[in-house]
Amino acid sequence: MASVGGDLQTLSDLFKKFTDAASQTEALRNSVDSAMNSAVWTGPNADNFRTSWSEFKATLTKIQQALTDGSVDVKNQHNNIAAATGAAERI
């Protein structure tokens, strides 16, 4: 049987890190995507970058989703432990 547990402070810190990283990943993806969509850039290098960007953009989306899902899991774990131990702290 799997063991479940955690330290409330480190879980709280991890939740914040995951949430911040998910926001930063989204901001990076949106910023580069916006710049690429508004840039007037043609030629083989532009075509190669746009092809690569399309792949990287999909990967960034997956990373953002993993961080978001992880933050929800960490939040739930934190709050469940807090409830079970009578701690008042919730995220």
User: Which CATH number belongs to the domain containing residue 38 in this structure?
Assistant: 1.10.287.1060
Within-domain flag for 16: yes
Structural domains counted in the chain: 1
- What are the backbone dihedrals phi and psi of residue 43, each rounded to the nearest 5 degrees, phi first? 115, 175
Q: Which two tokens stand for residue 79?
A: 């709050």
pLDDT on residue 48: 97
pLDDT on residue 1: 59
Distance CA(21)–CA(39), nearest Å, equals 27
pLDDT on residue 4: 72
pLDDT in tens, the chain (91 residues): 566 789 999 999 999 999 999 999 999 999 999 999 999 999 999 999 999 999 999 999 999 999 999 999 999 999 999 999 999 999 9
Q: If DSSP codes are grouped into helix, strand and coil, which group holds residue 23? A: helix
pLDDT on residue 17: 98
Within-domain flag for 90: no
Within-domain flag for 59: yes
Question: Where in the sequence is the domain holding 34, given as residue range(s)?
Answer: 8-85
Q: Under 8 Å CB-to-CB from 2, ≥6 apart: which residues?
A: none
Within-domain flag for 2: no
Tokens 């690429």 sit on residue: 36
Within-domain flag for 65: yes
Q: How far is CA 65 from CA 4, 6, 31, in A?
A: 23, 23, 18
pTM: 0.89
